[in-house]
Amino acid sequence: MQQSTQKYIPYVSQGWQGLVRNGWLEPLANLDEFLSAPADRVLANRPNREVRRVVTEHGVLYVKIIKSLSDDRGCNPATLWKHLKWCLRPSRALAVLQVCEQMLSAGIICPEPVLAARQRRWGYPCDVFITREVRAPTLNQLLVEATDKQQRQQLLEIAARELSHFHQLGFIHGDCLLGNFCLHAGRLAFLDNDRSFRSTGWLLQYHRRRNLQQFCHLLSWRLCNTAGARWFLERYAVYSGWSAGQTARESQLIMAKVRRRLANTIIDQEVDDWLSREREP
């Protein structure tokens, strides 16, 4: 394998251009051939993106192929605008690599980038982003397997501490799902960062609240009650250094959004009964 003092080196192969981690140029020299080989497992296969798990002699990789901004098809103005933005914007794969490196430098655990590259065919771009696998159970899996209140609270305590620290460093997760966090050596590993970014000022506060709304909505759905989400927010507030007034204000805003989201996903006549459950988290 090619060695260098640089962490990443330029990657150019059959129309693909980007960056590859030092030591991976030789295994990924022919990216088209690598992508055409059978995957160990296909995790997602949608019109706009594919996610694959690939086992190589150098380790297990996760390969994300991004073909467009959305699954939308047709010739309506909104869809055409999305495709135009995808054609004009810089490589998303390279942007994700940059964010992941910022996260790693700040001490945040996330998958180690291996390659980020873009290829244009007839002017239309396709991005590929490859990372090493993080071998650890997801938070969603651990909550399902938890057998009592103490285990669930231990998991939510870690989640509150780690997500608060993540936000305090200015990072926002692009898809704050329970399955996008792994428990690794007592800490959270942040997965699927292709829409994660860094923010500041009032925008950070706005996006942080949206992260918490999404997390608490899915947590409530998973636990079949809202008590767990409220307990999580209390612990998040402690780690974030919120005052009692700010905690009450933020919790009220976030849980109001959570209730509205749940109302849209549960049969109407069951909403009041479902939301009134006050079981312990």
Ordered domains of the chain (ranges, CATH) = 8-132 (3.30.200), 139-275 (1.10.510.10)
DSSP string across the chain? ----SSSEEEEEETTEEEEEETT-TTTTSSHHHHHHSPPSEEEEEETTEEEEEEEETTEEEEEEEE--S-S--SSSHHHHHHHHHHHHSPPHHHHHHHHHHHHHHTT-B-PPEEEEEEEEETTEEEEEEEEE---S-BHHHHHHH--SHHHHHHHHHHHHHHHHHHHHTTEE-SS--GGGEEEETTEEEE---TT-EE--HHHHHHHHHHHHHHHHHHHHHHHTSSHHHHHHHHHHHHHHT--HHHHHHHHHHHHHHHHHHHHTTS-HHHHHHHHT-----
pLDDT of residue 279: 47
pTM given for the model: 0.88
Residue ranges in the chain whose pLDDT is less than 70: 1-5, 70-74, 265-281
pLDDT of residue 71: 62
Task: Give the tens place of pLDDT for each residue, 230-276.
Answer: 999 999 999 999 999 999 999 999 999 999 888 876 644 455 555 55
